[in-house]
Structure 1
């Protein structure tokens, strides 16, 4: 039910959000082994359906939506066009490419009513290449094409660590098509540059590493990693030149050295892959006859593929930033940017300062980048301290408290808490709006 003590203007209210919490935080972390899964499950942001599959509940879904919108914005900066690719893929496409046996047990396979073998797409190189062959007379001047989708993928693998490795997950796939390997290489560099800008904008330290492209049948590959102790990839960073590379000697007795400068002064780390880039050339287009017309003759297009794991990116960022008991988000993809906590019902400030709630909410809701990103903890019968601790646990970056000091008729003051920076200040209403605006602008600034 709506709280009768306040007007029913449009607000995101804690009392109306579905997020069933679990008090067994430490117990579940010991079982699950990762901060992102323990915190997201225990604080009611996601719940497991089965091993490796999850319900994404409203608060987490907001972050997924923000992350997807952010990725789309950066894709459009390089003139990529959004499409949708069916998840159901004919097995014959994978047989033709030679990857059906390679993927083997990771594939979810099924048959339709006509006994036609299908699989749930773990990736879509075969499908997108097939699409490029369908009745199109693509001319040389039409290229390049840059086509992307954001959707679900399915891999029957050893699911663990929550959003870091699950059987069903959300991913952005960009596929590019060029006339020759030189222009495809320029596209590769352009996409990697937009990836650099995107990951820098998110504000989480990352490493770009050169990777092996042979598994995908390509010429060149790079991966983007967040360093974390539970990362599956072994990495090494050179103390001499600063280059980070994949540690190819993890399971051998060979001595590691930096591929760039050959130094053996290396620091070992583990990384969570959150993005990748492959220059595929004509590996897929030649087999499937995905051609363009050059001087009237068919020529295979040169292809690249570029992925960002949407849900994995969120999980990896939480794994990197969170404390043992508090979620932390990159500001641009936090489900809510600001939480407002009005006075408690039993307090003296309730009658004298509650009227500020609507004004604070409405003014902050007009700040660029904060629209529909304001949460109000309207549970006025819960003490302010308990509500503040809840906002901290959920990782909301900024918390505004309308408390005792706001009831001063001559100089009302509002508490502003910067959660990740662990600092607070008391400000007038105008100064509060200005400070939050400044903070938001800084966090939304693109380099």
Structure 2
């Protein structure tokens, strides 16, 4: 519906365009509840456009797009003139942008006092009063780790049951930024995103033997017909079955598929918040190649992508050689955030960069071998290795995982029975040769290899010049080169160039997003941070800027103007929160923004009447003129956005003990 004033109608001053002569007439068009008034000669006109709406309160108006007569963005701008010194209002201008957030800010100086007027988009400003972030003053009774305490106090998570947590909006903001970085890097190496059901049938798990191997840590359930299912802790079986059914030729390879989904583990003792819980969010990726060589190349490519992912998140990580565990395979590395709260023991060499989990760490030969030895007895179900004696220097412990690897991967278990006729003797190189005490009438096989547990100060097995140092870390990522383990077990085959049916060469790669959420907080937690709050890396902070006003109307107006101006910047769009709570004291506002961990805090205080604001970042406070605040923040953001290098191995090759 719409109407136009006839040419013959008398033209009153109210009907003339204020910007042009009497030949420019204003036209009113009624569209629903809105009446739009614009200058009639649309072509090459002044674009004088004004819209009023019943949906806008009387003290406000909505300015439509005045940039182009053919604009179809349909975005309007709420315009609220501000009263200044009792002498009228400062003029306000509004623009249009295709993303509905463009805001023009105009300032006027009268009698040496800077006054601010804004026109902000109809979308309401994001404010602390509307943000769902319930905070706690008291320390949670069941939270032991400092990062766990801070996440609860700052309103990121809430415990529902033992090991089960609700992720609140602030946590979801951080997780969404992690997901965006992960997706961008994995898409960049040719990976494709999928969704695998959270519930998995038991048949494929029984084929690989992991239905029983997983034990009680797997959530198992039955349907009404008696069918057995599980809540998937990982998806090797499901993805291998899918690809085996859909990919039949080498021409369809390589294939890289990933998902970001919840996973489940029935922890015996859920504790440490998000670090050991029953439900967690994880990125898991699976790769399929036609040759072992190409599979290793894929392993290296994904490892490099992981380095970029963590660098873009602003997280320093330590890459270490790791055990494959229940996943299997013959090559594996973990990514850790170093923290005193970490459960994993890591050994690193500052000389050459060698790093390994304590389960896989191998030390070099000492200067002198030990004349005193300690024996450990093991047994296995393999008839060739049913009685095993492991010998290490006195005062040291044996590493069962190294024993297992030295025997070719067979499972071993400690045996308290005295062994008089061993099948095999495992001798650590740090010991004198032995075995004479056993009956020489029997054929006893002796295997030499490093089997003792590493301790801090041991010689490095890679360079022989460095000394291993022990530290602790929180695992946030794990990558595996699986080979053909699952494709053989599940008969997932493809046809190669020669027409032969071969099993896929696979790899699997995981990142724990909820573990990162807490591990980052744990790594930066100090006595001071427990009193103040979280310090997030800039790329994954839930919001980048908080704006605080002391409380007067003029300061609130200046804070709103600052918010609108920062929202114009693409780098800060949707990243600014305005604390508009008039009844909250400024001291409490400071405590809450520090607790949440805003990287930048803009304070509109007493000096705002002279156009000066305070910008706080990393404990430093700068006095910045109002018009330079965006430039100041962007400059600091650029400096903070430099990639954080990860500490990683110079090579993925397994080290050998050297003299």
TM-score if structure 1 supplies the norm length?
Answer: 0.91
Select the structure that is richer in helix.
Answer: 1
Match of 2:550 in 1: 343
Write the distance in 2 (CA, Å) between the matches of 1:36 and 1:170: 18
- Quick one: which of 289, 294, 316 aligns to 2:519? 316
Write the distance in 1 (CA, Å) between the matches of 2:643 and 2:350: 29
- For residue 209 of structure 1, report the CA deviation from its aligned partner: 0.3
- Quick one: which of 35, 60, 82 aligns to 2:171? 60
- For residue 264 of structure 1, report the CA deviation from its aligned partner: 6.8
Helix, strand or coil: the match of 1:284?
helix
Match of 2:182 in 1: 71
- Quick one: which of 98, 112, 115 aligns to 2:209? 98
- For residue 93 of structure 1, report the CA deviation from its aligned partner: 1.0
- Quick one: which of 416, 427, 436 aligns to 2:633? 436
Q: Is the 8 A contact 1:153 1:168 kept in 2?
A: yes
Closer, same or farther: CA 369–179 of 1 in aligned 2, 3 Å: farther
Match of 2:540 in 1: 333
- Quick one: which of 560, 563, 579 aligns to 1:358? 560
- For residue 272 of structure 1, report the CA deviation from its aligned partner: 0.5
Residue 629 of structure 2 corresponds to residue 424 of structure 1: no
Q: Is the 8 A contact 1:338 1:398 kept in 2?
A: yes
* CA distances 1:142-193 after superposition (whole Å, capped 9, x unpaired): 2111100001000011321111111000000011111111001111001101
Q: Is the 8 A contact 1:338 1:373 kept in 2?
A: yes
Match of 1:297 in 2: 500
Write the distance in 2 (CA, Å) between the matches of 1:83 and 1:137: 16
Helix, strand or coil: the match of 1:340?
strand
Closer, same or farther: CA 226–207 of 1 in aligned 2, 3 Å: same
- For residue 218 of structure 1, report the CA deviation from its aligned partner: 0.7
Match of 1:283 in 2: 485
* CA distances 1:75-105 after superposition (whole Å, capped 9, x unpaired): 1111210000001001111110111111101
Q: Is the 8 A contact 2:240 2:490 kept in 1?
A: yes
- Quick one: which of 579, 582, 593 aligns to 1:380? 582
- Structure 2 regions of 5+ residues with no counterpart? 1-58, 61-79, 81-119, 362-395, 399-451, 645-659
Q: Is the 8 A contact 2:134 2:154 kept in 1?
A: yes
Closer, same or farther: CA 294–239 of 1 in aligned 2, 3 Å: closer
Match of 1:222 in 2: 333
- For residue 259 of structure 1, report the CA deviation from its aligned partner: 3.4
Write the distance in 1 (CA, Å) between the matches of 2:464 and 2:226: 55
Match of 1:414 in 2: 613
* CA distances 1:105-129 after superposition (whole Å, capped 9, x unpaired): 1000000111100000000111110
Closer, same or farther: CA 137–54 of 1 in aligned 2, 3 Å: closer
- Quick one: which of 352, 356, 367 aligns to 1:241? 352
Q: Which has the larger radius of gyration?
A: 2
Mean Cα deviation higher: 199-208 or 143-152: 199-208
- Quick one: which of 243, 250, 260 aligns to 1:140? 250
Match of 1:149 in 2: 259
Match of 1:347 in 2: none
Q: Is the 8 A contact 1:202 1:330 kept in 2?
A: yes
Write the distance in 1 (CA, Å) between the matches of 2:348 and 2:137: 39
Q: Is the 8 A contact 1:238 1:263 kept in 2?
A: no
Closer, same or farther: CA 97–170 of 1 in aligned 2, 3 Å: same
Write the distance in 2 (CA, Å) between the matches of 1:268 and 1:415: 43
Write the distance in 2 (CA, Å) between the matches of 1:286 and 1:317: 39
- For residue 293 of structure 1, report the CA deviation from its aligned partner: 1.9
TM-score if structure 2 supplies the norm length?
Answer: 0.62
Helix, strand or coil: the match of 1:303?
strand
Match of 2:137 in 1: 23
Q: Is the 8 A contact 2:231 2:263 kept in 1?
A: yes
Write the distance in 1 (CA, Å) between the matches of 2:351 and 2:549: 53
Helix, strand or coil: the match of 1:176?
strand
Mean Cα deviation higher: 216-225 or 103-112: 216-225
Mean Cα deviation higher: 394-403 or 252-261: 252-261
- For residue 52 of structure 1, report the CA deviation from its aligned partner: 0.5
- After superposition, residues 247-266 of structure 1 pair within 5 angstroms as 247-248=358-359, 252=398, 254-256=453-455, 257=458, 258-262=460-464, 265-266=467-468
Write the distance in 1 (CA, Å) between the matches of 2:226 and 2:333: 39
- Quick one: which of 109, 121, 126 aligns to 2:232? 121
Helix, strand or coil: the match of 2:577?
strand
- After superposition, residues 177-188 of structure 1 pair within 5 angstroms as 177-188=288-299
Write the distance in 2 (CA, Å) between the matches of 1:94 and 1:45: 36
RMSD: 2.2
Match of 2:125 in 1: 11
